[in-house]
Amino acid sequence: MDRKKIENSVRNCFSWLENHMFTFGRGAWGIYERIRTDINMRVGYSRPDTATEFLRAARLFKTKLKDDAYDDVYENLVKWLAFAQNTKERDGNETFPFYLADGCKDYKVMQMLFQNDNGKIILNLALLYLETEDDRLLSMAEKSASFWLSIQRENGTFYDPCLNIGEPDAAGPCFVLWPMVAMFALYKATGNKKYLHSGEKAFSHLKKITVDGRLRTSYEICKAEAWRPVSSEQYIALLCYAISYRLLGDERFLTEICKLLPYCNALIDQTTGAIKNSIKRDDTLSLNDDPDLCDLVYTQGFALNAFAELYFACKDEVFLRRAQNMAEFLADIQCKNDLPCVNGGWRGSYNLKTNRYDGRCNQRNALDEGGVYSVYSGWCALPIVFGMLKLL
């Protein structure tokens, strides 16, 4: 792996975030979600999950590159997260909203509460606490987790009508995987078995929807997440199971990983190392099903981190080579001679046949969730650079 190329890619991405995605006051009001180039818009959503992704990447940026350039942004975002977190007195719970418009509660707050976003927030805060022993992080994570514990059902899923989303969506793997591993991380951080029991219930549900060597997709189960390719939930599962194994040392997670690996391996493009959206076109699994495309928003960054975590857990050089190959590919396709507001990021969908960004993700919601015209900070750029930093 060309370490200099990977480091340059990381620094270019952080520069893009600093120049275009931080809110006023170097992240004092969060980090913006994405840019949509088709309508010349920086989407004004400051998302808590994106903020926690930055915290983890910034900490690794400092420790790996010996560079404290983003220490102030880190502190600003910790304070903003405490501000953004719901309160029982006003909101009835202490979890995190989907977003705050321009980072401020005086403007629109999205009333939907998502299990995957909040699971990722809790996980990132808990893992950072394990590294830093910063009680501010653990306090926020536990307050949020108390809400999700209160609405977990006996079948392991997390649902209550107050979420303002469809009940069937709760059964989709991406809505269970993130809360599961978040609860395991809190158990590791606190020793409180209520978190372990919650994670175990979620794990039981996931095992029930594992069929024919893969997890059933959210679209397959309930027509949710139509824009998410089948590759996404499979690789998120590898990542969450690998983290769970590293946290708990329970070989049942390795068993589930071994079940999924053949299907996941079949999605790897042999030329580039990228993860294809699908093996073949099958609109029963996802509407984002073109096997020539690879998804940057919901798949590549999580796959990169999954391979890195599997290497750390198993010490198998195969996983290290896969992670390194992915990192090189992602550095090569990083936006460089694009729009000034895009350079340093990654557009949402890349065509492996034509070797250019391509594809749309407008399926069933008209929001363009990914695709060639969306350039995300969270979910896409930050997981990618976080995975790259792990390899340095």
The predicted-structure confidence for 336-369, as pLDDT tens digits, reads as follows 999 999 999 999 999 999 999 999 887 666 778 8
pLDDT for 283 equals 86
Average pLDDT, integer, range 35-55: 96
Which CATH number fits the domain that encloses residue 313? 1.50.10.10
Q: Domain total for the chain? A: 1
Give 80-148 as a DSSP string: HHHHHS--HHHHSS-S--S-EETT-TTS-B-----HHHHHHHHHHHHHHHHHH--HHHHHHHHHHHHHH
The predicted-structure confidence for 225-239, as pLDDT tens digits, reads as follows 999 999 999 999 999
Which is nearest to 85 in space by CA: 57, 121, 58, 131?
A: 121
Q: What gap in Å lies between CA 147 and CA 152, rounded to an integer? A: 9
Domain that holds residue 230: 3-391
Q: What gap in Å lies between CA 327 and CA 324, rounded to an integer? A: 5
pLDDT for 266 equals 97
Residues belonging to the chain: 392
pLDDT at 146 over 80: yes
Cβ neighbors of 318 (< 8 A, separation 6 or more) are none
- Range ranked top by mean pLDDT from 91-95, 278-282, 334-338: 334-338
CB 96, CB 105: distance < 8 Å = no
Secondary structure (H, E, C), 116-129: HHHHHHHHHHHHHH
Written as one letter, the residue type at 222 is: C
What value does the CA radius of gyration of the chain take, rounded to a whole number of Å? Answer: 19
Confidence band (pLDDT; 50, 70, 90) for 246? very high
Distances (CA, A) of 247 to 78, 115, 184, 241: 24, 21, 7, 10
Three-class secondary structure of residue 370 per DSSP: coil
Phi/psi at 25 (5° precision): 75, 35
